[in-house]
Structure 1
């Protein structure tokens, strides 16, 4: 549970729920005119462990639509998917009537909405986390630990750091220990485990025991059981996963004719549909040369990171809403500085919201890096996602002078030690 790769990846595996009837969930969607979303179909999915269900779909008319349907459990993780625009995660409960306005200028992983108790709480937590900034916390820790620092200045920095960490801990724990929503408690626990430097494996286990006592028998808590083996997806669920992938511009995860419980080989892809042959290419393997590609930088100028003069290029995929990604950024900055002249670091954001991306770049001080963005509107999106095997973030590939892959997911000390060893030769 500690060191989750990304909140998005955690959400994809979150719930181990069983199907049953109940009150309908209602979602009223409104899109701002500048999003360009009108007269298109939007989809509402619910995820239940390894099972994916389509709750409803509707067409946006005059930038508005209403979706409704039964949820598989009293509380469910639901996703509003707008093809070409992205998706929005809601922590939904039966009987709720939620209103959501899609505004590309104010995008976050948990969208601002009205009517969803759990989502509103997580939105507030994530908003405050972004305002404080993971990079700012790392900077405070670094400054407070600097040798030769005046004792009074060190005490001041440590006090400021402790106050900000205490606020974030308080926000997460207030969501964990509410008695209204087991789903909120589970998501807040995963968030807390992923972001708090004070969370140990023992304290996490103790926290899970408390949740089981407060919510006995709740299927939501199955996601916190690392020993649990989720049921394989049904044929219908695999069909829905393929539908969701097509709507998102991604390769379909299940080949035609796949059976429930049948494993697919790592990096395997289904047969391509006509006109999408590039999406069927396998991920780059270690030793394979990466083909030239380009993506837009903050000014909209397309750049090819492989053209860097440095001997090594590190391609790091991240997003502004991904807590582990934000914690990794200071490591990238340190590596770029430490191995200046030998290593070029390219930070490739998968943010769908350009404003959130630019804000995160400024907060984290990423100007020394080559900053590019890969979103679904880019013609090469599906191909690059497949070739670089972007299944979870943070994710990186290290390329040598011939731009061949020499390592995948080298992080922290492992990246530094690898480069130090190779550059001594």
Structure 2
């Protein structure tokens, strides 16, 4: 049975799930909302807003045992993607995050997938079965998510190549899209 579409004369047709995701995300400085298409709903389902950090004061262990600290991020643009294996939009965007990580390479764009409060074995199994090779960091107690105000999954925090926090991207993103490419290019060229 299809999800009923909720409509208004002034807004595009949105599913109940999209409305809930939007309501959970709260208000932001810049929002990209879905747009109607010939075959129904198409387009992005994410919101972008300014993020001011802080970037300092964290130590997260990845699935290989390496501890990541702010010094490991210096000199390159960074995407800090908060996700969980139970999160359908997180799972949906993960392949495009991996493609972007592969395309740019870690010296130019470091993509870190930060798993939210799941056992290490679950994060490792997810990465293995989905072909994720970018670093998967473990936020086992949710401290990093709290510190950076992450309440919606997925959320990606961006840092430019000069080490400055830039954007908070909430919701599922096709990181291979032209809109995401503009955001990434802005981080790299900073």
TM value normalised by structure 1? 0.31
Deviation beyond 6 Å, 4+ runs, structure 1:
none
- The partner residue of 2:147 within 375, 383, 387 is 387
Runs of 5+ consecutive residues of structure 2 not aligned to the other structure: 6-15, 21-26, 29-49
- The partner residue of 2:158 within 395, 398, 417 is 398
Q: Cα offset for 1:366?
A: 1.5
| Aligned: 1:347 with 2:113 | yes
Distance 1:307 1:424 in 2: 19
Q: Is the 8 A contact 1:324 1:394 kept in 2?
A: yes
Moved more, 290-299 or 319-328: 290-299
Distance 1:366 1:306 in 2: 24
Distance 1:371 1:305 in 2: 16
SS in 2 for 1:313: strand
Larger-Rg structure: 1
Q: Deviations over 1:250-274 (max 9, x none)?
A: xxxxxxxxxxxxxxx99xxxxxxxx
Distance 1:308 1:343 in 2: 10
Q: Cα offset for 1:337?
A: 1.8
Q: Cα offset for 1:421?
A: 4.9
Q: Cα offset for 1:419?
A: 2.1
Compare relative contact order (CA 8 Å, sep 6+) and give the higher one, 1 or 2: 2
- Which structure has greater strand proportion? 2
> How much is the aligned-residue C-alpha RMSD, in angstroms?
3.1
Distance 1:422 1:313 in 2: 8
| Aligned: 1:416 with 2:181 | yes
Distance 1:306 1:329 in 2: 25
Q: Which residue matches 1:29?
A: none
Q: Which residue matches 2:4?
A: 205
Distance 2:189 2:145 in 1: 33
Distance 2:113 2:158 in 1: 12
Distance 2:55 2:189 in 1: 25
Q: How does 1:353-368 map to 2 (within 5 A)?
A: 353-367=119-133
Change (3 A) 1:388 1:357: same
TM value normalised by structure 2? 0.64
Q: Is the 8 A contact 2:75 2:162 kept in 1?
A: no
Q: Is the 8 A contact 1:317 1:393 kept in 2?
A: yes
Distance 1:423 1:401 in 2: 5
Q: Cα offset for 1:292?
A: 3.7
Change (3 A) 1:375 1:286: same
Distance 1:335 1:365 in 2: 14
Distance 2:154 2:145 in 1: 13
Q: How does 1:131-142 map to 2 (within 5 A)?
A: none
Q: Is the 8 A contact 2:76 2:188 kept in 1?
A: no
Q: Cα offset for 1:356?
A: 1.4
- Which structure has greater helix proportion? 1
Q: Say how many residue pairs are matched.
A: 147
Q: Cα offset for 1:400?
A: 1.4
